[in-house]
Amino acid sequence: MSAFLFSNTPVDLATLRAALADPAAGGYAAFEGWVRNHNDGLAVTRLEYEAFEALAVKEGERIVEEARRRFPILMAACVHRVGLLEIGELAVWVGVSAHHRDEAFAACRYIIDEVKHRLPIWKKEHYVNGDSGWVNCERCADHAHAPDYSRQIALKDVGAAGQARLRESRVLVIGAGGLGVPVLSYLAGAGVGTIGIVDGDVLDASNLHRQPLYAIADVGRPKAELAAARLHALNPEINVRVNAERLAADNVSRLLEGYDVAIDCSDNFATKFLLNDACVLARKPVIFASVYQYEGQLQVYRPDTDSACLRCLWPEATRDGIVGNCAEAGVLGPVPGVLGSLQAIETLKLLLDLPGQLAGELLILDLATYETRRIRAPRAEACRNGTCARITAIQSVEEQTDDLEVSFGSLDRARSAGYEIVDIREPREVAVAPMTGVPYLHIPMGALLAEPRTLDPEQRYLLVCARGARSLALAQELRHQGLPRVFSLRGGIAGL
């Protein structure tokens, strides 16, 4: 007989049992599911089963074959009724023969559990009061359009138990942009039960090439709300919590509360280090990723392992502006997509406790050459028992900049005030919009970072860029490297 089949007429148990007979079998186990006369306090008169038979038969045969591989059994089969069934009729039967009874019992239990969770079968109850309704049995009709997790459950490391674990999991995603879009999409598709979104930005047309969750008609609307609507459309079974606000020192602890893991999908170092510090103090895992042009890196902090937090690798928080974000440095759309997908994979590994998790190392990926490097990143000596000694309180890493930024109506006034002007823009920027009318030095930002001693510690310098962000970050860095008389032009050239 076939390993799995449907029947629209009553089944002959004696024939089914005889088909599994084997002289080597010392044990036989069977499961029989009958139509009962009640459910959830309602009196039932009969049941009606429907199935997507072409798909269900293939998946049912796959389940039986899985049982044969997992357990040392001889033969197994399953029959499921479709159509109208009366009270007391047999609705589903599973039979297994094996050398020993334990294997037969275990395989029988496995088959019926997998059939219940994986097959597209719907049950409709007819009640004494004349009403009827689809119920959450094999597949509830209310969820008929929800994702079918069968391909995921088919993985031996996931199974029905792993899918149930995902359904109970709670993940907070900070950022719904280039990294966040694949993270959110794949976690929702995988069936993670609760997903929190933190993002205070609105969608810009320049986002769309790397954030395909959105559409041109969405421009100007809050990303967190847009993402939540898309995730609900993808998987109506999950709970999506919207936080249309920026992560800050005064809300990070509140936002993290109740979640199992956080995922950093932000595009600035201030947010990354703030999240790092909060997760270390709260002893929560956090999965980081960052992108620069064609390169990306991935890091996982877990308080129960020897994995490093951000401050183990960078004791002083990296300043925004030192490395360009997507707007300044440019990015090819699929690059953050790849890194975000890796974050989603690491999150699922963590939630399901799968092997091969990234821990105690930094993964660096160059998508221009496909070169991949794994660098050891163990917890630093200053980090003990899951709490980094460098982190004592949640506070913003953004430093006061009042003494770093200065304003002038013109560069002539800056020269008159004794400042040596340094244009730190890239050569292509200077070629498009050169500064005129005043003498100045042109030293690109990267060159100054590589050779800060190009500048005289006794001289007063005014760093100039397009809008003031890079010059401010560079002024902060150069101050830390022993150049106390370096300042940034507030607002950059655009502010003159």
Report the CATH architecture of 4-144.
Alpha-Beta Complex (3.90)
Sign of CA dihedral 35, 8, 84, 133: positive
* Nearest-angstrom CA–CA distance, 289 and 271: 12
Task: Note whether 227 and 199 are within 8 A (CB).
Answer: yes
**The predicted structure's pLDDT at residue 396:** 53
* Nearest-angstrom CA–CA distance, 391 and 348: 28
Q: Does domain 161-388 have CATH number 3.30.565.10?
A: no
* Nearest-angstrom CA–CA distance, 372 and 182: 21
**The predicted structure's pLDDT at residue 397:** 47
- Count how many Cα atoms sit within 13 Å of the Cα of residue 269 in the half-sphere of its side chain: 19
Task: Note whether 462 and 416 are within 8 A (CB).
Answer: no
Sign of CA dihedral 46, 50, 53, 59: negative
Task: Report residue 214 CA to chain centroid gap.
Answer: 17
* 496 residues of the chain, pLDDT tens digit each: 789 999 999 999 999 999 999 999 999 999 999 999 988 778 999 999 988 888 889 889 999 999 999 999 999 999 999 999 999 999 999 999 999 999 999 999 999 988 988 888 888 888 888 777 666 444 443 444 457 788 888 888 898 889 999 999 999 999 999 999 999 999 999 999 999 999 999 998 988 888 888 888 889 999 999 999 889 888 888 999 999 999 988 899 999 999 999 999 998 888 898 999 899 888 899 999 998 888 899 999 998 887 888 888 776 555 554 455 545 556 788 999 999 999 999 999 999 999 999 888 889 999 989 988 888 877 777 676 545 655 656 655 444 444 688 888 889 888 888 899 999 998 988 998 899 889 999 999 888 888 888 899 989 999 999 888 788 888 888 888 888 889 999 888 887 7
Domains 161-388 and 405-495 agree in fold: no
Q: What is the dihedral of CA 387, 389, 393, 399, to 10 degrees?
A: -130
Reference 171, options 343, 298, 309; nearest CA is: 343
CATH topology of domain 405-495: Oxidized Rhodanese; domain 1 (3.40.250)
| pTM of the predicted protein model | 0.57
**The predicted structure's pLDDT at residue 318:** 57
| Domain residue ranges of the chain, discontinuous segments joined by + | 4-144, 161-388, 405-495
- Joined together, the tokens standing for residue 115 give 């059939």
**The predicted structure's pLDDT at residue 138:** 40
* DSSP letter for each residue of 439-490: --EE--HHHHHH-GGGS-TTS-EEEE-SSSHHHHHHHHHHHHTT-TTEEEET
**The predicted structure's pLDDT at residue 401:** 43
Give percent helix, percent strand, percent coil of the chain, each to the nearest 5.
35, 25, 40
